[in-house]
Structure 1
Amino acid sequence: MNYKEAIEYIHMTNKFGSVLGLDNILNLLDRLGNPQKDLKVIHIAGTNGKGSISTMLNGVLTQAGYNVGLYTSPFLEKFNERIKTNNMDIPDEDIAYYLTEVKEKINEMISEGLNHPTEFEIITAMALYYFKEKNVDIVILEVGLGGRLDATNVIDDPILEIIASISFDHTEYLGNTLKQIAYEKGGIIKENSKVILYPSHKEALDELIRISKEKNTSYIIGNKRDIELIKTDIDGSELYYKKENEFGLEKFRLSLLGENQIYNVLTVIKALETLKKDGYKINKCNIEKALTNIHFNGRFEIFNKKPYIILDGGHNKEGIESFVKNIKLYFKDKKITLFFGMLADKDIDSALKKLIPLSKKIYTLTPNNNRAYTSKDMYEKIKKVDNHIEATYLDESDEIAGIIDKNSDEIYAFVGSLYLIGEVRTKLKNLIN
């Protein structure tokens, strides 16, 4: 098959839904020669921040000279973003080639009366197979949903596990308490392994510590007192790592914006310290260069400065709270023009109560997903929350071209579902350029 056929095939398999469990993915991987068994994997779970942590780790390890495979989800603008080696997206022709190999094994499964793998299982299997064939030194593997029953949880002996910040999201699958959610996320922790824990809520941390002890796993929790924000502006932050360390790292600059990134980078530093102790060759220069130049599209991304255009994929309670804090931090008392869209299964009411006070006008958009809350329904919900706020619903994302004034001093912020952020990012590139 060619690239177009491969992408169509992947998206066609969306009809098989999301199935939590490992039988299917293990069967498929076995037919591919169990590529996961030959990979050195850093496995990362969490509610928020796992993408930022993955991106920073990838940057540092690549800077240190390692051939790094990176697997994340979802993509913003093009499917290929989900699978990278050395910061380069998987080429179109490789997707076509490796998916053809995977599809042959799927057809074998179907002929034997087995269940068809889901979209996420297929992509995960293809990524692991691809990384094995490309002889990567390290794989950074980001969990899709939860952890315990996620398709990525097929790694028997990871070199390191990381649990990022834990908060409420996907509660219909993961549970209604932080303890229940932490139990699912902590399902990636293996016997006699090493895990780095983000300094999260006590209820979540207590559960992760319990799991670690039960698995005889060494755990390290980032101490918030070990890192200090010296100053921050719209171009990045200067931070001070106060704890004595093998790198000699003290003051450094981080290009990722937001208070939430302070403890994400602390978690990354703890991971790098552990890797260095295990023999990985990483130095202070690698860390400083990577963190100074790191970019993570769609996460409080300053897409443009004149006018300001901000893209933020905050789509749950903690994500929205971080966005609000960051707007107040970088833009003080200025009001924003908000473009907003979320999926229907998110806590929209809570998000609006936080976003409306920041906004002088709101445009609603429908994310490109079958679970989306429509722009018209969102407009009506906004009016119920605050009938005085100026609001308009848009039928198409193309309409933003007639709204953004390129010569103004406005702050335009696109917030919500990553399915929305990816679509508008492509439109904005054409508009601004």
Structure 2
Amino acid sequence: MPGIGLGRSLIATKLGKMFCNKYEEAVHKLNSLQSNKATIAQIRKHIKTGQRCTNMKDMENYLVRTGVPLSKLDELSVIHVAGTKGKGSTSAMCESILRAYGYRTGFYSSPHLVAVRERIRLAGIPLSEATFADYFHKVYDALYKTQEYEGDMPKYFAFLTVMAFNVFLEQKVDVAVVEVGIGGLVDYTNILRKVPVIGITALGLDHTAILGTTLPEIAAAKAGVMKTGCLAYTVQQETEAMKVLQQKACNVNCPLTIVPKYSTYAFQNGLRLSIQLEAYKMNASLAIQLAHAWMRIKCNNNVKNPDLLVKTLSKETVIGLRDCKWPGRYHIVETEWGSIYLDGAHTKESMEICAQWFENNCR
């Protein structure tokens, strides 16, 4: 029956166009929510004065308006990752390890490389345009209809954070790996109250206009993700930064552990996974400990033991690290006319590592 086949084809084409239009509309509306100068100035003020600021109250309000009170958000099991350098790649490796063990994962990161839907992933895959559009309009409409005054809407990053939490809760993920946007203390992701495991990657000077101009100030902002009773892991830091992290951990009764060097790990059954860049080795070690700390808590009825560290890498861990894809970081694209080297370095230290990576690959 060729007529039926043609009819189905036309319906599929129309549906495809509808989804495309819904997605384009979603992106257009999202872009209209960009933070303005006044919003950024307010964030700077509150971080410098050490206040929790209105971000958390605003975030709670946005979540409630979309049907997610904090009591419901508490049901989401999260690994929260802050830091200056490598928090994206660390989060990606952590998520990949958990997926290799068979857990259903959610992953929220920023910024995106090509399309905004990359920021919210399920089982390692960015939301499709259709799924992104569906969730976007559901959340946007709920917020728009409950405005108390004109413009009572979350800004770009806050909106995506609300949307991500809605996605992860509705999809019933086993664990969500959530990367902090900027800082930690007043970052919108810090609305999370019950976080079993947090990680802090290498610290350096970034977003100094917002977070402060010294390493201790930066460390204090990042340490804001530490919460009473959670397990915190970090890499070796500069002395002045480490002192701030340790003091914060002590103040909130949050055990802080420095992860071992990647070179110290043993491998099961003769497996091997060579990682060339020192920065990636450090990120990989942090990802390993974060993933396994969460799994221990999951398998032991929420019993937390900060003294346990993974020393031998299982097959699943190696597969998770090996199969992790994080485009835009130490990324080589081969073309018919040459090689393109891509990296999103944004600090002095990251640029130095990027230059070394480029030099090593061009020898």
Into which bin does the TM-score normalised by the smaller protein fall?
A: 0.7 to 0.9
Q: 2: CA distance between counterparts of 1:124 and 1:313?
A: 22
160, 164, 172: which one aligns with 2:197: 160
47, 62, 65: which one aligns with 1:28: 62
The answer to whether the Cα contact below 8 Å between 2:183 and 2:218 also exists between their aligned partners in 1 is yes
Q: Is 1:318 aligned to 2:349, yes or no? A: yes
Which letter does structure 1 place at the counterpart of 2:245? L
The answer to whether the Cα contact below 8 Å between 1:80 and 1:89 also exists between their aligned partners in 2 is yes
Q: 2: CA distance between counterparts of 1:312 and 1:55?
A: 16
1:228-251 per-residue CA deviation (whole Å, 9 max, x = no partner) reads 2xxxxxxxxxxx515xxxx85986
Which letter does structure 2 place at the counterpart of 1:278? I
| Structure 2 partner of 1:299 | 329
| Structure 2 partner of 1:169 | 206
259, 262, 287: which one aligns with 1:268: 287
Q: Given the two structures, how large is their TM-score scaled by the length of structure 2?
A: 0.80
Q: 2: CA distance between counterparts of 1:280 and 1:87?
A: 22
- Offset of residue 327 of structure 1: 2.4
The answer to whether the Cα contact below 8 Å between 1:80 and 1:92 also exists between their aligned partners in 2 is yes
Q: Given the two structures, how large is their TM-score scaled by the length of structure 1?
A: 0.68
Q: When you count helix as a share of all residues, which structure comes out higher?
A: 2
SS in 2 for 1:14: coil
Change (3 A) 1:249 1:218: farther
| Sequence identity (%) | 27
| Structure 1 partner of 2:48 | none
| Structure 2 partner of 1:96 | 133
Which letter does structure 2 place at the counterpart of 1:193? C
120, 125, 132: which one aligns with 2:162: 125
Q: 1: CA distance between counterparts of 2:163 and 2:187?
A: 15
Larger RCO of the pair (alpha carbons < 8 Å, separation 6+): 2
Unaligned runs of 5+ residues in structure 2 are 1-20, 44-54, 301-309
Q: Is 1:241 aligned to 2:265, yes or no? A: yes
The answer to whether the Cα contact below 8 Å between 1:44 and 1:163 also exists between their aligned partners in 2 is yes
| Structure 1 partner of 2:101 | 64
Which letter does structure 2 place at the counterpart of 1:82? R
Change (3 A) 1:310 1:28: same
1:187-223 per-residue CA deviation (whole Å, 9 max, x = no partner) reads 0111121111121211111101100010001111123
Q: 1: CA distance between counterparts of 2:277 and 2:322?
A: 14
SS in 1 for 2:140: helix
Q: 2: CA distance between counterparts of 1:102 and 1:144?
A: 20
| Structure 1 partner of 2:180 | 143
The answer to whether the Cα contact below 8 Å between 1:16 and 1:119 also exists between their aligned partners in 2 is no
The answer to whether the Cα contact below 8 Å between 2:205 and 2:347 also exists between their aligned partners in 1 is yes
| Structure 1 partner of 2:296 | 277
Q: 2: CA distance between counterparts of 1:196 and 1:214?
A: 16
Q: Is 1:55 aligned to 2:92, yes or no? A: yes
Which letter does structure 1 place at the counterpart of 2:121? K
Q: When you count strand as a share of all residues, which structure comes out higher?
A: 1
Change (3 A) 1:219 1:248: farther
The answer to whether the Cα contact below 8 Å between 2:87 and 2:179 also exists between their aligned partners in 1 is yes
| Structure 2 partner of 1:77 | 114
| Structure 2 partner of 1:420 | none
- Offset of residue 4 of structure 1: 1.0
Which letter does structure 2 place at the counterpart of 1:174? L
Q: 2: CA distance between counterparts of 1:106 and 1:99?
A: 11
256, 259, 266: which one aligns with 2:278: 259
3, 10, 33: which one aligns with 2:30: 10
- Give aligned pairs, total: 314
Greater Cα offset, 179-188 or 27-36 = 27-36
Q: 2: CA distance between counterparts of 1:119 and 1:44?
A: 20
Over aligned residues, Cα RMSD in angstroms? 2.3
Q: 2: CA distance between counterparts of 1:280 and 1:59?
A: 19
The answer to whether the Cα contact below 8 Å between 2:103 and 2:175 also exists between their aligned partners in 1 is yes
SS in 1 for 2:272: strand
1:85-107 per-residue CA deviation (whole Å, 9 max, x = no partner) reads 00111121222222222222322
The answer to whether the Cα contact below 8 Å between 1:241 and 1:250 also exists between their aligned partners in 2 is no
- Offset of residue 16 of structure 1: 4.1
1:72-97 per-residue CA deviation (whole Å, 9 max, x = no partner) reads 01111111111000011112122222
Which letter does structure 1 place at the counterpart of 2:290? A
Change (3 A) 1:264 1:7: same
1:106-142 per-residue CA deviation (whole Å, 9 max, x = no partner) reads 2245334674311111011001001111110000000
1:52-88 per-residue CA deviation (whole Å, 9 max, x = no partner) reads 1011011111111000000001111111111000011
Change (3 A) 1:287 1:12: same
SS in 2 for 1:289: helix
